[in-house]
Amino acid sequence: MPTLVQFDFPMAGPWGDELAAAFGDLAGIIGRTPGLRWKIWTENEEEGTGGGIYLFEDDESALAYVEEHTARLEGFGIDEVRAKLFHVNEPLTAINGGPV
């Protein structure tokens, strides 16, 4: 069953195109994560938060990535990392055009 992971954390920037330029290499690394189908990068400059929505093949892949990415973020000095896991209801998601 596909597993969705939602990450969010405090972030002071950069935002938009500057974020894309600064983290392009990291996006490539994340893209090679075992079990990852896709990631949507999220940012909210007004609230000072960043994060992402990820879809993994299974819980095992998702949990391994949560551990890896939390350690990465803590290495960047971010200590308020929140990660939530959800199971995807594929039949209902397909009705609404979700990319599973």
Mean per-residue pLDDT for 19-43?
96
Q: Is 9 exposed, middle or buried (0-12, 13-18, 19+ CB in 10 A)?
A: buried
CB 90 within 8 A of CB 2: yes
Domain covering 3-95 assigned CATH 3.30.70.100 in the classification:
yes
Please tell me the distance from the alpha carbon of residue 88 to that of residue 76, in angstroms, as a whole number. 30
CB 5 within 8 A of CB 83: yes
| pTM, rounded to two decimals | 0.90
- Spell out the domain ranges in the chain: 3-95
Confidence of residue 100 (pLDDT cuts 50, 70, 90): confident
